[in-house]
Amino acid sequence: MSNTTSPEFFEAREVPLGGVRGVQVDRVLPQRGLPTLGAWCFLDQFGPDVAEMVVLPHPHIGLQTVTWPLAGEIRHRDSVGSDAILRPGQLNLMTSGRGVSHSELSIGTGPLHALQLWVALPADAAAGPAGFEHHASLPRYQDNGIDALVFMGTLGDAESPATTYSPLVGAQLDVTEATLPLRPDFEYGLLVVDGIVQVAGVELKPGPLLYLGTGRDELTISGPARAVLLGGEPFGEDLVMWWNFVGRSHDEIMAAREDWEGGDPSRFGTVAGHGADRIPAPILPNLRLKPRKQPVR
Ligand code: MN
């Protein structure tokens, strides 16, 4: 294997999630030293012991939301008319295009453990229409010692049917010991959600993201564990991220904020079933938002 990056740990931080009944989540991405991983630009982990998730209608631009429950069920409703119940092993994928709004509420009284990820859209798709996909059945990558569900992109011979706009992968790995095929042009990261793994010469427990960089054509993982592998071609663009918006300039973010606060239904639509309940945008900071520069590695 040639010239691979040393693995780097990025610790998650606890953040309060907005809303009427806010909960604490573990924010894994973005990080100061890792604004994107491929086109993956955001990763929050709820649980494993959250009792309830109530995320009222709120807007997005410039991204896809990828909702991946590990335990519990989530009801998704959005401004393109979707109303979908999501269970473990299934994918909800919402593409914001120029503007969309949605709500996500846990169902039932059991514990909830879920990952909420965002994928940054390239500029042309970010100017496009909104859409929603529910994938109840996803392809598996299977080999000795591994059974993986590929929810986005491609791993080995398994390709997710979910719509993507840049080369990437997102897969849930149930692994005892296996060697995965990787793409040297992708950068990769690994998050353990249950168990402990030995990988790339280090031990990885639940919590931090292990950044594995580019240049690897395979990766040996020893568990037993459940982990999530994320990867993709380095995104290459410096993004402005603020609240629920991913854009390319301060002015673009400010216009989206004004459209949401002004209730512009031509941009963000309405989410049925919530009446006037919605999450207001925070006050903009008194400075010009700047792109997060990609670090030099
Ligand atoms: Mn959202």
pLDDT in tens, 152-195: 999 999 999 999 999 999 999 999 999 999 999 999 999 999 99
Q: What is the whole-number distance in angstroms between the Cα of residue 56 and the centre of ligand 1? A: 9
pLDDT > 90? residue 292: no
**Class of residue 24 by CB neighbours under 10 A (exposed 0-12, middle 13-18, buried 19+):** exposed
Q: What is the DSSP letter of 36?
A: -
The reported pTM is 0.95
Q: What is the whole-number distance in angstroms between the Cα of residue 2 and the centre of ligand 1? A: 39
Q: What is the whole-number distance in angstroms between the Cα of residue 252 and the centre of ligand 1? A: 18
Burial of 151-170, coded b for 16+ CB within 10 Å and e otherwise, reads bbbbbbebebebebbbebbb
Tell me, what amino acid is at 118?
Answer: W
Other Cβ atoms less than 10 A from the Cβ of 241: the count is 21
Distance in angstroms (rounded) separating the CA atoms of residues 116 and 86 = 13
Q: What is the whole-number distance in angstroms between the Cα of residue 21 and the centre of ligand 1? A: 15
Q: What is the whole-number distance in angstroms between the Cα of residue 188 and the centre of ligand 1? A: 24
Q: What is the whole-number distance in angstroms between the Cα of residue 48 and the centre of ligand 1? A: 19
Task: Determine the average pLDDT of the residues in 97-110.
Answer: 93
Q: What is the whole-number distance in angstroms between the Cα of residue 118 and the centre of ligand 1? A: 9
Q: What is the whole-number distance in angstroms between the Cα of residue 243 and the centre of ligand 1? A: 10
Handedness of CA 124, 61, 291, 67 (dihedral sign): negative
pLDDT > 50? residue 2: no
pLDDT tens digits, residue range 16-70? 875 545 577 899 999 999 999 999 999 999 988 777 888 999 999 999 999 999 9
CA angle 2-153-239, nearest 5°?
80
Task: Determine the average pLDDT of the residues in 204-221.
Answer: 97
Q: What is the whole-number distance in angstroms between the Cα of residue 10 and the centre of ligand 1? A: 23
> Phi/psi of residue 87, each to 5°?
-120, 160
DSSP 83-104: EEEE-TT-EEEEE-TT-EEEEE
What is residue 7's predicted lDDT score, i.e. its pLDDT?
Answer: 96
151 pLDDT band (50/70/90 cuts)? very high
CA 70 remoteness from chain centre: 14
Q: What is the whole-number distance in angstroms between the Cα of residue 65 and the centre of ligand 1? A: 7
Distance in angstroms (rounded) separating the CA atoms of residues 65 and 130 = 11
**Cβ–Cβ < 8 Å for 142, 176:** no
